[in-house]
């Protein structure tokens, strides 16, 4: 095995890999978007590019979350020699952040705090020679990456990195345009210079059937949904042949709000908004009953009832809880002691993984915090399991220091099971994870790839996707699979076109894939 030799890189620490070297050379020639599968060293490429640019200015590394920022600080500090690495965050005084930027060679930060400082004129980026945008697929709409890029001086080298840019060509083009990226460099698991470093990830679909109590709840909820959606049709708010879904109802709400803003303060508009609110609540409850279980549903019903007790703003909730179907639902929920079969299946899977190898580490992903809390409690009773919950900061969640402490405990072995919401999906380097469990499918191809990429990094990994038959789970699974296939096909076409020197993306003038083998 050979290692990278560079005055600013610690000897014997960075393995020489041909695809990484080709990516580095491409980045030195043009602003680039690097698309590389999870676990294959995007950060190592960033370190090597940074080593080349430190002679001409500072390096700014941006990452979307504080745990990811701290991870990058550690990586750059461990791999680089004689380089001052600083970290900025929004909790610091603005003048402190300015001192950190001026006093270090490499600065790692979340983008929001840098964007705020630049907008306020607290400092400029004139002394920065290289900006690295991690999880670059976020650079759309009003995300802070876009604001930072707008303050970037001409001539500053810009690098974007992602494992999953999405299936939409217009989204990829928007990312490139927003970050001033003129070149795309793609690698896949099948490329000959990448395949020797790939570990197998085995994806296993685990089917369950929901118990009778939850089926009865869903039937009553659907009866309520039919009642209110029929009223929306009779008012002309939605077409008579239109099936209601959460996504569609959001467009209905926008239409009603626009009518209200234009001065149409009629009984139909107000009733339409109330019906929309109730249908959204019912659809969410159906999703919880079908895919999450009795405990998360029970908690959500409590929130509806608390809203109904409010003097102002609780009208739609009050109407819901008075429905005879709701009374029936509450009776079932109160007397039932069943949980979703996914819970016991998760516990069984964890028991099996730990039983075959007590040193294993497992991540369980769940969509909702209430589900995470319930699962963490249940998993803690599994023999050999030391479980912790990883959630975001909102609504009294975990502070960023607490998130980092949990991840450090997972790496060190204090915990061997992490139950996480989406906060654990992006970029976190937990290299020895042996299994990932999806409590439910997610409809996003980006999030699916990010979740799956938490395993199979240093060794083969197992991925288990739990699917409740005949429920929303199957819809979400199908949506994600279709989007991922479209993304793969899009990237394959893009690779071929770029290797021939042409580009389907109008915003990119330099399109050659330096070192592309395909």
Where residue 307 sits, what CATH number does that domain have? 1.20.1320.20
Whether 161 and 116 map to the same domain: the answer is: yes
On whether the CB atoms of residues 338 and 306 are closer than 8 A, the answer is no
- Return the closest-CA partner of residue 452 out of 466, 438, 467: 438
CA atoms of 27 and 20, how far apart (whole Å): 11
**Is there a domain that residue 12 lies in?**
no
Number of folded domains that form the chain = 3
* Helix, strand, coil in percent for the chain, rounding step 5: 50, 15, 35
Where among 197, 232, 265 does a domain terminate? 197
Whether 251 and 184 map to the same domain: the answer is: no
Whether 318 and 307 map to the same domain: the answer is: yes
CA atoms of 518 and 496, how far apart (whole Å): 8
Whether 180 and 118 map to the same domain: the answer is: yes
Whether 352 and 285 map to the same domain: the answer is: no
**Is there a domain that residue 310 lies in?**
yes
SS3 513: coil
**Is there a domain that residue 456 lies in?**
yes
**Is there a domain that residue 95 lies in?**
yes
On whether the CB atoms of residues 458 and 172 are closer than 8 A, the answer is no
- At residue 166 the predicted structure's pLDDT band, cuts being 50, 70 and 90, is confident
Summarize the confidence of residues 129-139 as an average pLDDT: 96
- 114's tokens: 């840098």
% of residues, the chain, pLDDT over 90: 66
Summarize the confidence of residues 457-477 as an average pLDDT: 86
Count CB neighbours of 338 within 10 A: 14
SS3 168: coil
**Is there a domain that residue 44 lies in?**
yes
- Return the closest-CA partner of residue 340 out of 377, 300, 389, 375: 375
Lowest mean pLDDT, pick from 131-145, 151-165, 274-288, 492-506: 492-506
**Is there a domain that residue 516 lies in?**
no
pTM over 0.85: no
Whether 49 and 181 map to the same domain: the answer is: yes
**Is there a domain that residue 157 lies in?**
yes
Kindly report the CA angle at 110 between 109 and 113, in degrees rounded to 5? 95
Whether 345 and 471 map to the same domain: the answer is: yes
**Is there a domain that residue 515 lies in?**
no
pLDDT tens, residue by residue, 322-357: 999 999 999 999 999 999 999 999 999 999 999 999
Please report the DSSP string for 414-476 in residue order.
Answer: S-SEEEE-GGGTSS---TT--EEEESS--S-HHHHHHHHTTSSSSS-EEEEEEEETTSHHHHH
- Which range in 52-61, 193-202, 491-500 is most confidently predicted, on average pLDDT? 52-61
Whether 181 and 84 map to the same domain: the answer is: yes
Whether 116 and 57 map to the same domain: the answer is: yes
DSSP state of 507: T
Q: Give pLDDT, residue 484.
A: 78
Q: Give pLDDT, residue 517.
A: 31
% of residues, the chain, pLDDT over 70: 90
**Residues in CB range of 121: below 8 A, 6 or more apart:** none
Whether 148 and 51 map to the same domain: the answer is: yes
- At residue 403 the predicted structure's pLDDT band, cuts being 50, 70 and 90, is confident
Where among 301, 317, 335 does a domain terminate? 335
Q: Give pLDDT, residue 36.
A: 86
Q: Give pLDDT, residue 187.
A: 83
The domain that holds 397 is classified in CATH as 3.40.50.300
Summarize the confidence of residues 478-486 as an average pLDDT: 84
- For 352, 366, 420, the CA distances from 387, given in Å and listed in that order, are 15, 14, 11
Whether 81 and 191 map to the same domain: the answer is: yes
Range of the domain at 384: 201-209+340-478
Where among 318, 335, 352 does a domain terminate? 335
Cβ neighbourhood burial of 368 (10 Å; 0-12, 13-18, 19+): buried
Whether 186 and 205 map to the same domain: the answer is: no
């Amino acid at each position: 095995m050979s290692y990278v030799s560079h005055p600013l890189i610690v000897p014997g620490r960075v393995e020489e890999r041909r695809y990484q070297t080709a990516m580095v050379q491409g980045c030195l020639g043009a602003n680039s978007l690097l698309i590389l599968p999870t676990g294959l060293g995007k950060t190592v490429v960033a370190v090597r590019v940074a080593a080349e640019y430190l002679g001409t200015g500072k390096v700014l590394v941006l990452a979307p979350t504080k745990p990811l920022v701290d991870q990058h600080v550690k990586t750059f500090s461990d791999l680089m020699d004689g380089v001052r690495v600083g970290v900025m965050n929004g909790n610091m005084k603005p003048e402190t952040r300015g001192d950190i930027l001026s006093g270090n060679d490499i600065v790692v930060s979340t983008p929001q705090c840098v964007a705020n400082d630049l907008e306020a004129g607290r400092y400029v980026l004139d002394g920065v020679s290289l900006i690295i945008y991690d999880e670059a697929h976020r650079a759309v709409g009003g995300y802070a990456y876009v604001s930072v890029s707008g303050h970037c001086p001409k001539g500053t080298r810009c690098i974007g990195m992602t494992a999953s840019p999405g299936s939409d060509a217009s989204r990829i083009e928007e990312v490139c345009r927003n970050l001033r990226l003129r070149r795309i460099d793609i690698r896949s698991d099948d490329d000959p210079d990448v395949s020797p470093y790939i570990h197998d990830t085995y994806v296993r679909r685990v089917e369950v059937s929901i118990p009778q109590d939850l089926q009865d709840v869903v039937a009553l909820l659907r009866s309520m949904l039919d009642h209110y959606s029929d009223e929306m049709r009779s008012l002309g708010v939605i077409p008579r042949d239109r099936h209601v879904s959460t996504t569609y109802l959001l467009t209905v709400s926008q239409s009603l709000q626009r009518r209200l803003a234009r001065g149409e303060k009629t009984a139909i508009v107000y009733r339409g908004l109330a019906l929309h609110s109730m249908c959204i609540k019912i659809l969410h409850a159906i999703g919880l009953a079908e895919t999450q279980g009795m405990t998360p549903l029970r908690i959500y019903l409590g929130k509806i009832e608390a809203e109904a007790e409010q003097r102002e703003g609780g009208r739609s909730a009050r109407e819901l809880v008075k429905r005879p179907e709701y009374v029936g639902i509450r009776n079932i929920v109160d007397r039932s002691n069943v949980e979703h079969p996914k819970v016991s299946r998760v516990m069984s899977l964890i028991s099996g993984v730990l039983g075959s190898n007590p040193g294993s580490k497992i991540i369980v992903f769940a969509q909702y915090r209430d589900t995470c809390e319930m699962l963490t409690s249940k998993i803690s009773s599994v023999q050999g399991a030391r479980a912790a919950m990883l959630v975001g900061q909102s609504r009294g969640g975990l502070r960023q220091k607490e998130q980092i402490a949990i991840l450090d405990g997972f790496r060190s072995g204090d915990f061997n099971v992490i139950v996480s919401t989406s906060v654990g999906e992006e970029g976190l380097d937990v290299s020895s994870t042996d299994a990932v469990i999806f409590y439910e499918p997610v409809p996003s191809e980006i999030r699916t790839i990010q979740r799956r990429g938490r395993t199979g990094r240093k060794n083969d990994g197992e991925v288990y996707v739990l699917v409740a038959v005949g429920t929303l789970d199957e819809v979400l699974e199908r949506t994600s699979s279709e989007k991922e296939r479209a993304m793969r096909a899009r990237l394959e076409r893009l690779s071929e076109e770029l290797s021939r020197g042409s580009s389907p993306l109008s915003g990119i003038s330099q399109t050659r894939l330096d070192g592309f083998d395909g």
